[in-house]
Amino acid sequence: MTERSTCNVVLKKCRATAVRFSGHLCGISRPSTPILSLRFFASWRLCGYSFISAFQRSPFSRTKPVLAAVLLFVLIAATTQHPEPVQLKIPAGWPAPTYDFSKNPLTKEGIALGRKLFYDPILSVDSIVSCSSCHLSYTAFTHVDHAVSHGIRDRIGTRNSPALMNLAWSGLLMWDGAVNHLDVQALAPIAHPDEMGEDIAHVVEKLRRSGRYPGLFYDAFGDATITGERMLKALSQFELTLISANSKYDRAQAGLETFTDQEASGYRIFKAHCIACHRPPLFTTGAFANNGLAVDTVYHDLGRMKITGDPTDSLKFKIPTLRNVEFSFPYMHDGRFKSLRQVIDHYAEGLVQGRTLAPELRDGVTLSKNERTDLVAFLLTLSDREFCFNPDHAFPRE
C-alpha cells in the first residue's frame, strides 16, 4: 500500500470483513483508514459484514496472480488474532475455585462477549428483558425493590433474584439447587415462561442474524460459529469475573483498616450466632437449610424438596452470601423482609420450629436490641462499593 494508489475506498462498516477484489490486490492510499482491520476475512460469509468496494482500478491491478495470492495470504496471516487469555485473580487467603477453567478458559474477548449478552434483551422472547433486568450491578446483581422477579409481559416470578458474585466457588445454583453448573444456569431463566420465555435455539438464530454478534463470537472463539454452548460459556466467563473481596471487612482482616467498637461488637455476635452457615470468606457454605421461615401463603414454596423429592429437604433453601447484603434487599427466597433489622428480628424472635429446622437454630437466637444494632453495623462492613460500582461490570457502552 503506497501513496501511488489511486483507489477510492468506501467503508460501510468500520469492521469490514472482506475486500471485494477484481482479480487483483488493490492498493490503499491512506493506511490509517479503519479498513486495515481485516481479521474477520476468513469468516466473512457467516459474519455478513459490508465490503470495501474499489471504484477505480489500482496501479497494482496487473500484478501477477501468484504474487497477489502471496500478498493476500500474508495480509490475512498478519491480521489473524487469537483470544487473549485472562487469569482470574484469586483474593489472598481464599480457597481454590471449584469451577473448572480448563473447560472454559477465560479470555478478554470471551468476557466482553458475555458482558454484551448479559445486558442484551435479545435473549428474551419480547427483546425487552435481559439478564440485567433482574440482576442490577449496583445492587450486587439483584432485583432491587422487587420481592420476586418481574419478567416478560409484566409476568411475576415466584422467587427473589439471588445476588451474583464469587460464582467460581459456587456449586449448586438457584435457591433450590436446581442447576448443577454455571455453564448451563442461564438456560433456566431464558426458558422460564415468566422470566424470559424464550427457546435457546431461537436465541441462537437471532444472534446469527444480528449485525454484530458473529464478529464478537469470532473474537472470542476464533471463528464466527454461534452455538448455544458458546453463548452460555461466554455468559459464564463474564459472571466468573464478578469477584467481591474488597469490603471494609476484607481490609480489616488484612490489617489495612480497623473496626469501630460497634462493628467489632457486631463481629463477635456474628461469630457466635451466624458463622456456622455464613462462613468467611464467601460468607456462605453453599448448603441448604431451613431457617425457620413460615411457609408463604402465596407460593407454598417448599424449596429443595421440589428438586429432590426428599421430605427431609422440605423448606430448605440455599444459604445466600452476606457479602454486599446492604445492597441486596429485599431478603429471603421470596423477598419478604425489606431491611436487615427485620431479618435479624426474625432470627431473634420469629423462628418457626419444624422437623427440618437447621440444628443451629433449634434453641433460638437471643439478642438484645443493642446487639441487633451492632450486628447490623458489622454486616455493613461486608459492602464492597468497588464491586457494585465497577464500570467493567456495568452496561457496556461500546
Same-domain pairing of 229 and 189: yes
Pick the residue with more confidence: 134 or 44? 134
Q: Would you place residue 144 in the very low, low, confident or very high pLDDT band (cuts 50, 70, 90)?
A: confident
Task: Give a yes or no: residue 73 inside a domain.
Answer: yes
Task: Answer yes or no: is pLDDT of 39 > 90.
Answer: no
Task: Give a yes or no: residue 217 inside a domain.
Answer: yes
Task: Give a yes or no: residue 53 inside a domain.
Answer: yes
Task: Give a yes or no: residue 145 inside a domain.
Answer: yes
Residue 80: other Cβ atoms inside 10 A:
13
Task: Give a yes or no: residue 392 inside a domain.
Answer: no
Whether the CB-CB separation of 29 and 7 falls below 8 Å is answered with yes
Residues 7-24 have a mean pLDDT of 36
Q: Which residues are CB-neighbours of 16 under 8 A, at least 6 positions away?
A: 34, 35, 37, 38, 49, 50, 51, 52
Interval 74-92: pLDDT, tens: 455 445 578 999 999 999 9
Task: Give a yes or no: residue 1 inside a domain.
Answer: no
Instruction: Among 23, 49, 79, give the residue marking a domain's end.
Output: 79
Q: How far is CA 235 from the centre of its chain?
A: 6
Find the domain containing 160 and state its range.
101-244
β-bridge pairing 18-19 and 51-54: parallel
Same-domain pairing of 45 and 124: no
Same-domain pairing of 324 and 371: yes
Task: Compute the distance between CA of residue 184 and CA of residue 384 in angstroms, rounded to an integer.
Answer: 28
Q: Would you place residue 71 in the very low, low, confident or very high pLDDT band (cuts 50, 70, 90)?
A: low
Same-domain pairing of 265 and 324: yes
Predicted pLDDT of residue 145: 80
Same-domain pairing of 105 and 240: yes
Q: pTM for this one?
A: 0.80
How many domains, in total, are found in the chain?
Answer: 3
Task: Answer yes or no: is pLDDT of 51 > 90.
Answer: no
Interval 17-31: pLDDT, tens: 333 333 333 333 333
Same-domain pairing of 281 and 314: yes
Task: Give a yes or no: residue 395 inside a domain.
Answer: no
Instruction: Among 244, 274, 304, give the residue marking a domain's end.
Output: 244
Interval 308-339: pLDDT, tens: 999 999 999 999 999 999 999 999 999 999 99
Same-domain pairing of 218 and 179: yes
Q: Which residues are CB-neighbours of 392 under 8 A, at least 6 positions away?
A: 241
Instruction: Among 181, 215, 244, give the residue marking a domain's end.
Output: 244
Whether the CB-CB separation of 36 and 3 falls below 8 Å is answered with no
Predicted pLDDT of residue 45: 34
Length of the chain: 398
Task: Answer yes or no: is pLDDT of 142 > 70.
Answer: yes
Task: Return the sign of the alpha-carbon dihedral for residues 321, 376, 275, 385.
Answer: positive
Residue 76: other Cβ atoms inside 10 A:
13
Task: Compute the distance between CA of residue 24 and CA of residue 317 in angstroms, rounded to an integer.
Answer: 66
Q: Which of 25-29, 260-264, 336-340, 354-358 has the lowest mean pLDDT?
A: 25-29
Task: Give a yes or no: residue 307 inside a domain.
Answer: yes
Q: Would you place residue 1 in the very low, low, confident or very high pLDDT band (cuts 50, 70, 90)?
A: very low
SS3 273: helix
Residues 240-245 have a mean pLDDT of 99
Task: Answer yes or no: is pLDDT of 174 > 80.
Answer: yes
Predicted pLDDT of residue 65: 57
Task: Compute the distance between CA of residue 9 and CA of residue 32 in angstroms, rounded to an integer.
Answer: 13
Q: CB-hemisphere CA count at 13 Å for 209?
A: 7
Strands (E) across 51-162 are located at 51-54
Backbone angles phi, psi at 35, to 5 degrees: -65, -10
Same-domain pairing of 171 and 252: no
The residue whose grid cell reads 460497634 is 262
β-bridge pairing 288-289 and 51-54: unpaired
Same-domain pairing of 306 and 356: yes
The average confidence (pLDDT) of the chain is 86
